[in-house]
Amino acid sequence: MKRTACSLLIIMLLNLVPMMQAGAEMQLPKPFGKIILTIDGNITVKNLGETAVFDRKMLEELDTITIRTSTPWDIGLSEFTGCRMSKIIEATGTDATIALISALDGYQVELPISDVTNYDPILAWARDGTIMSVREKGPLWLIYPFDSFSNLKGIAFSAKSVWQIERISFQ
């Protein structure tokens, strides 16, 4: 009898640990540095009222990847370091199909979430190892791996490669 009770308790605890871990993953810390990205709309994970806000350190801790690609605006290759959009989607708990991306100057683009699935773009904060200022298309620039997919070379994708990003609204 005691053996059965102990076995049941162990099984219950083993099932409880993953559930606790999943709940812990659904929290965002508060930013300590300058907020460079605000996310709102259809999100379930928030850290400031009805929004999720990020400083660069939070984005770095969420995901840091470097891709090497050319862009339609430059000659030659550059290395862009940033966070995958897919990680932003996971971190904010959205099931949206569209991300409305807004730049500091008011420029807005509707980014289909299928682009994230198909091309894995990043929100870059650095280019060739240097943090991008607003003058250099920062604080965040949506970078597609332009050299990895031939269909990314057209105007449809270059128009979606927003720079000076400040806000994403998931819809």
Strands 141-143 and 165-170: unpaired
Q: Which domain holds residue 47?
A: 29-170
SS3 content of the chain, % helix, strand, coil (to 5): 35, 30, 35
Specify if 159 maps to a domain. Answer: yes
Work out how many domains the chain is built from and give that number. 1
Q: Determine the Cα–Cα distance for residues 64 and 59; give it in Å rounded to an integer.
A: 8
Output the domain CATH number for residue 63.
3.90.420.10
127-150: pLDDT as tens digits: 999 999 999 999 999 999 999 999
The per-residue pLDDT for range 86-133, each reduced to its tens digit, is: 999 999 999 999 999 999 999 999 999 999 999 999 999 999 999 999
Q: Are 71 and 142 in contact (CB under 8 A)?
A: no
pLDDT tens, 17-76? 444 444 445 689 999 999 999 999 999 999 999 999 999 999 999 999 999 999 999 999
Q: Is residue 40 part of a domain?
A: yes
**94 within domain boundaries:** yes
